[in-house]
Homo-oligomer: A and B are copies of this chain.
Amino acid sequence: MAATRLAKDCSVLTIAGSDCSGGAGIQADLKTFAAHGCYGASVLTALTAQNTTGVKDVYPIPPSFVSDQIRCVLDDVETHAIKTGMLCNAEISAEVAKVLAEYKGKGKLPPFVCDPVCVSTSGHTLLKEDALGVLFDQLFALATVITPNKSETELLLKTSGSPMEISTLDDMLQAAKKLSSFSSTSVLVKGGHLTSSLQEVKDLVAKNPGLEIIKQNILDENMEILLVAFESEMTSRELVVDILFEHDGRTTVFARPRIHSTSTHGTGCTLASAIACGLAQGIPLKDAIANASLYTHIGILTAQPIGRGHGPLNHLHSTNLATVAQRTKTNPYPFTYFLIQNTREAWKEYVEHDFVKQLGRGVLAKERFVHFIKQDYHYLKYYARAYGLLAAKSSSFTAIASATQTIINIINEIGTHKAFCETFGVTEQELEHTAESTATAAYGGYLINIGLQGDEAKLIMALMACLLGYGEVGLWLKKEANQPNTWVTLGGNPYKKWIEDYSGEHYQGAVRIGIESVEKLIVADHPSPARLKEWQEVWLRCTQLEKGFWDMAMSLAN
């Protein structure tokens, strides 16, 4: 199932009718493209006034306006797959075939899924009978695959002068072979209107060696624990079976449980569009169909009731809402921005703390600063140990090395810290013998707790408030010091070295590495809402604990 192109780099074009109620037609197609992460374009062949109860009216678009639209798309948007649906009448069918043949002639026709839509789920004719010949003569041979259902297959075989009724899997296989031969392309005959059993599938395989079966959402051997644990349609004996006969003769049977649901409006459009998304990505036909069948199957399974009749599938089951904006060149730090922006008040109380302001003015009482640096000595031990836990939780040498380098930096800074303390008359012995304050214990304990409880990512979150906050304080004080008539005093400020350290290149380099590691987390492992909430809580808690640390210094609390 290896794709050669990422979904986000694929454009897929549908040429089909509109279903204003949104469940079928180009609406279902565009939703399916979006649900696969592909860019969608859509050319309209006809409009319908319809809803889940049926088609009220059809309004065909002039053929020349259909081809104008096709040219507009194919001449400008690099297109990686095309899907056709309702073509309404012979004139539109011929026009579409003519334009696609033209692009084929220029070597510009991408993989093409032709869904020969003839009749709506509700029974309304969507293709005039005289168009069937056009499909055969002009359109099918351009297609990578055609995807008729049972009645469309019967109608097409009748048109080709080889009528047959389809009531068994064997009939389906024979019909697929005939249709492939008449249409010169691969054929997927869809069995949604037949009911089969696993035994019938096995019999078919026994009779046709080389035939491959792909079973989907079927509880199979070695799944006794799931079989007994619930009674559901996964265990049902009623299967829906589609048969793919590829033009080179390979045959594949796709089997899945039948779902008893009225949410089947637009199933055919959805399947064909999902196959087109697979082909656009370079996935081989058989695998593209397997993926598309499962996507459509789950779309029916997870549908919510909409409208009073046959409701639409749930097209969006394959996507989740993102929680953090994408990282881009012009917005490289969306997650750090998000964290700060969403905890603005707590962050401001931390980085613009009175302690910081008094320190900037050089008026902070020495005893408060001394209380702070003594406790900081204890805190740094916790902080280093937490990076030890981070190393233990890392899964790459790069990550282990990065955590370890931080510990080495902290150990080195402890040397500077001691020297700095001495300038304030605090000896190493005094540092070691200072009792740990409640604020220090709370913060240190929290780091170790997170380090034991959570994974690498959560621990990184816990370590960031300290790293980034001191960086912010350093830069802020430095910036303010450079303003005219500044309130910050550097000359004669006993804390000048402290300000210079945190605003200096060495520390700021570490801040940038920290921000990078936070942003990389999000790209590598986009969090669910629950996980993001957890991370935000950790960040907020540490921000508050940082503020508490400076509160402690100001009140000289133990």
Chain A residues close to B by CB (< 8 Å): 7-9, 11, 18, 20-22, 27, 30-31, 34-37, 39-44, 47, 49-53, 56-57, 59, 61-62, 65, 68-73, 75-78, 217, 219, 221-230, 232-234, 259, 294, 298, 301-302, 304, 306-309, 312, 315-322, 325-326, 328-333, 336-337, 340, 344, 347-348, 351-352, 392-393, 395, 452-456, 458, 468, 471-472, 475-476, 479, 508, 511-512, 515, 524-528, 530-531
Given A468-B225, A511-B225, answer yes or no on A233-B52 (Cβ-Cβ < 8 Å): no
A224-B476, A455-B458 are known; give 6 further A-B pairs, CB within 8 A.
Answer: A37-B316, A219-B337, A232-B331, A302-B325, A318-B322, A453-B456
Shortest CB-to-CB span from A130 to chain B, Å, is 24
B residues less than 8 Å from A318 (CB atoms): 321-322
Give Cα A8–Cα B72 distance, bound, in whole angstroms. Answer: 34
Count of chain copies: 2
A306 B30 Cβ-Cβ under 8 A: no
Residue on B nearest A76 in the bound complex, by CB: B51
Give Cα A476–Cα B225 distance, bound, in whole angstroms. Answer: 9
Give Cα A35–Cα B320 distance, bound, in whole angstroms. Answer: 9
B residues less than 8 Å from A69 (CB atoms): 20, 47, 49
Residue on B nearest A47 in the bound complex, by CB: B44
Shortest CB-to-CB span from A482 to chain B, Å, is 12
B residues less than 8 Å from A336 (CB atoms): 225-226
Given A20-B43, A225-B471, A351-B222, answer yes or no on A77-B52 (Cβ-Cβ < 8 Å): yes
B217 A337 Cβ-Cβ under 8 A: yes
Give Cα A508–Cα B62 distance, bound, in whole angstroms. Answer: 65
B525 A528 Cβ-Cβ under 8 A: yes
Give Cα A336–Cα B224 distance, bound, in whole angstroms. Answer: 12
Given A322-B317, A526-B528, answer yes or no on A34-B34 (Cβ-Cβ < 8 Å): yes
A233's partner among B315, B320, B322, B330 (CB-CB below 8 A) is B330
